[in-house]
Structure 1
């Protein structure tokens, strides 16, 4: 078995992270987002913007509780996760974090990389004093809802609708990561 693990992202990982994001979105969101929107956020110009943003996330995050992690297999970046203090006005960012994104390259799916990223994220968030984590997911994203649900996440009742030329509904999931809390 190849060496696998999770580590903090480095500047050199930004291109791989952006490429994984685009591949994962094209495959996973093709039935969830309007085609024109998906083409715009995964096109060549968007990839350049994502690379710059992921470089900044890896090298100059807004604060010490903002992190970008990568899953690696045989020194190849195969997935990533980003988290930060929660920004929703009904949540306390001192104790609630947000899993901003967690994506695995479709070419490397179903190999445990997502679970390793989720576990590493929860460990770091606990170390940073967070007790709860939330994530916004597309209501129709049954794969992500099933994945997070299997780790003890559940809807908390919050919903939002994005205007993407047509309404796209997202729901907020949450989990307790405090000592003695829910699973992660």
Structure 2
């Protein structure tokens, strides 16, 4: 007798996924950035975010811009964004960026992040990239541990994002990378 298995998967996001991705992103940001950013600095308009996601999913700026979603049954529980890397020291032909890797906090530890990461790497490989980079919040030890456990490493690059344009909301990030060829 076999034991039941979870109904989980990863696929390319559809335009119809925009509301679920937007809701998950904004909700997760409130948790992820709670100690770094004032609550009023984070977006809260799910409908506006869903419109932006819908536009990005239906009219990507580059054919290599991809959004992948992790599903538990038919429910979006995570997403990842892949694209050519835009950093000045990166080669947009060889270097890809995993721009976001988000899993619903209540769904972590169930393999969704690993499936998303693997699908993201496979997508970047299919687009003929040979290296991937990701910017992580410097204090996000859980994400950095997850990625280093998967073979990623810090490459020495760091930056500070000015979220309000006035220098009062700064977020420090470090860049991780891995060979994917």
TM-score by length of 1: 0.89
After TM superposition, list the pairs within 5 Å mapping 1:135-174 onto structure 2: 135-164=134-163, 165-174=168-177
**Structure 1 runs of 4+ with >4 Å offset:** none
Equivalent residue, structure 1, for 2:36: 32
Unaligned runs of 5+ in 2: none
Assess if the C-alpha contact under 8 Å between 1:32 and 1:141 holds in 2.
no
Equivalent residue, structure 2, for 1:182: none
**Correspondence 1:17 to 2:21:** yes
Q: What is the CA-CA distance between 1:12 and the residue it aligns to?
A: 1.0
Q: Deviations over 1:114-168 (max 9, x none)?
A: 1100000101111111010001111011111111111111111111112241432
**Correspondence 1:6 to 2:10:** yes
RMSD of aligned alpha carbons: 1.3
Unaligned runs of 5+ in 1: 179-184
How many pairs were matched up?
Answer: 173
Equivalent residue, structure 2, for 1:175: 178
Q: What is the CA-CA distance between 1:55 and the residue it aligns to?
A: 1.1
Assess if the C-alpha contact under 8 Å between 2:30 and 2:39 holds in 1.
no
Assess if the C-alpha contact under 8 Å between 1:57 and 1:67 holds in 2.
no
Distance in 2 between the 1:140 and 1:107 partners?
A: 20
TM-score by length of 2: 0.90
